[in-house]
Amino acid sequence: MSYEFLQHYWCFIISLLGALLVFLMFVQGANSMIFSLGKTDQERRMLINSTGRKWEFTFTTLVTFGGAFFASFPLFYSTSFGGAYWLWMLILFSFVLQAVSYEFQNKLGNFLGAKTFQCFLVFNGIVGPLLLGGAVATFFEGSNFIVVKENLVNSQLSIVNSQLEITPVISHWANASHGLDALLNPWVLVFGLAVLFLARTLGILYTMNNIDDEVIRTRGRYQLAGSATVFVVLFVAYLVHLLLKDGFAYDDSGTIFMEPNKYLHNALEMWYLTVVMLIGVVLVLYGILRELLSGSKFFTLHSIPDQWSPTRSLSLFTLPGIWPAGIGTVLTVTPLLLLSAWNHTAYYPSTADLQSSLTLENSCSSYFTLNTMFWVSLLVPFVLAYIVYAWRKIDSKKIDRAEIEADDHAY
């Protein structure tokens, strides 16, 4: 395996993890709508228990995504997670707040009240997808940082535990906002809002399938129309902007330069990624329309039975809307992220110093590290198989009002 192959392989793995994270943020999307989908305490508890059985998957994927980036492209990790730390700290704070909220809202001695922790879940449901979407948008729009690799030699001094130590600072942010300045770019906000409304759309689709309650399903169908419409408008607007904007390219010598319509060229030259992305978009739209029109004669005749049996025929056209929409999300986001890095494209461009932009070649780990991790990554299918098994066990019975009233361990 060549060094170049391993760089592209790990870029694909990270993009796939990022796409899975976007899908799993249906947890945040549903949490952001606790008070609009659930009008009573019992309805809100059903919603919280629905997402509460899955929030660990989202958090674990976020940590795995960051860990894979750290191991494969350490210069990106140190530049983004170290330089834009206010942005990432807000994201991580909202996820930690989510975990605390699940566990303590109904504990004895909770003097803040259950509603306070439910508001914390709403905070995570809005801030998490919005800021994560904004962070991803910087792969196309750029960030305000400077990289000086010569600082490995010309290190600066610092005092640690009363001792003088040499601390090499390779990259630093060019202003004091440390990542929050990205939100001043309107297109970063557009993409962040698109991710937020996608998460809300997926959250509604998931709860409509996971909760056995006609009141929530009916209410969710009305909310689905609004969230899905806003998502489609924002996503199409950003996609058009992306294909028409100048992109950050580099030549064989590693010199970064601006190329007109770079991402359009990537989409045409890597047509296979575009085909996968279009299939993903169709599946997302199908999943949404399936739930919106689920009361019609066609979808009633083709709906999946409550109890699935291996002897029954199963396809994307008989699954509930969350599954074609979820698979479509992964198929859409993965090639979209690859368009920002493959085909001689700087995946983390710098707006402060063009030549500081990060590429697969100038920010990756050593060949030995990438090669070793490649063999370890072959175990991933076994992990995914366990996740699928655990998921099916958790969702073997839909949540209903009787379960919430009878289960003393429910959130």
pLDDT tens by residue, 114-142: 788 889 999 999 999 999 999 999 999 98
Residue 157 has pLDDT above 60, yes or no: no
- Token pair for residue 287? 């999943």
Whose tokens are 């942010």? That residue is 173
pLDDT band for 264, please (50, 70, 90 cuts).
very high
Report which of 377, 364, 370 is spatially closest to residue 77, judged by C-alpha positions: 364
Report which of 47, 35, 22, 24 is spatially closest to residue 102, judged by C-alpha positions: 47
Whole-number Å distance between alpha carbons of 370 and 166: 28
Which pLDDT belongs to residue 168? 64
Whose tokens are 């979820």? That residue is 326
Residue 398 identity: K
Is the dihedral angle over the CA atoms 12, 99, 49, 222 positive or is it negative? Answer: negative
Which pLDDT belongs to residue 304? 46
pTM of the predicted protein model? 0.87
Question: Once rounded to an integer, what is the mean pLDDT over residues 316-328?
Answer: 81
Residue 156 has pLDDT above 60, yes or no: no
Residue 11 identity: C
Phi first, then psi, for residue 173 (nearest 5°) are -75, 145
Residue 109 falls in which region: left (phi positive, over 0), alpha (psi -120 to 50) or beta = left
Residue 319 has pLDDT above 90, yes or no: no
The count of other CB atoms within 10 Å of the CB of residue 330 is: 20
Residue 154 has pLDDT above 60, yes or no: no
pLDDT tens by residue, 28-79: 999 999 998 888 888 888 888 888 888 888 888 888 888 888 889 988 888 8
pLDDT tens by residue, 171-227: 778 777 888 888 889 999 999 999 999 999 999 999 988 888 888 888 888 899 999
Residue 381 has pLDDT above 70, yes or no: yes
Residue 300 has pLDDT above 50, yes or no: no
**What contacts 206, CB < 8 A, 6 or more positions away?**
26, 30, 50, 51, 54, 322
pLDDT band for 317, please (50, 70, 90 cuts).
low
More confident residue, 385 or 158: 385
Which pLDDT belongs to residue 122? 92
Residue 365 identity: S
Residue 152 has pLDDT above 70, yes or no: no
